[in-house]
Amino acid sequence: MRVGIKAVDASCKTAFSGKTFAQLTTGQQEELLKNAESGKLVLEDISSKLFFTNLLNEVRNGYFADPSHGGNKNMGAWKMIGYPGMRADYMDWVTVRDKPYPPPPVDLAGRRG
């Protein structure tokens, strides 16, 4: 990840007058990420497609991570995607596809979102 982030920032500085990825507009960031996903973005030391795949996987992991690990503040991602968290039993809802899970999520410490 560090190699990829460093390579993306270096590419941005070259292509966008010294700006890093974080300094780009949302549209520029989205275009750059699309190019990385397709492999069109050329980076030093790493394939942009490989970097994008790893980045996307880490984002997905973060969505399901317990807030005690430092991300997913206040179970925000869980609330957004309707993940119940660490509930003891929600088996009766596993097959329900057309309704959101009604109770708020619960983290490992037992806090409710």
pLDDT at residue 99, rounded to an integer: 84
Q: Where are the domains of the chain?
A: 2-64, 73-113
Q: Is 106 helix (H, G, I), strand (E, B) or coil?
A: strand
| Assessment of whether the complete model's pTM goes beyond 0.85 | no
CA dist 10 and 3 (Å) reads: 11
CA dist 56 and 24 (Å) reads: 19
* Phi, then psi, of 94 in degrees rounded to 5: -60, -35
- pLDDT single digits (tens) 50-69: 999 999 999 988 888 999 98
Looking at the chain, the number of H-run helices and the number of E-run strands are: 4, 0
- pLDDT single digits (tens) 4-20: 999 999 999 999 999 99
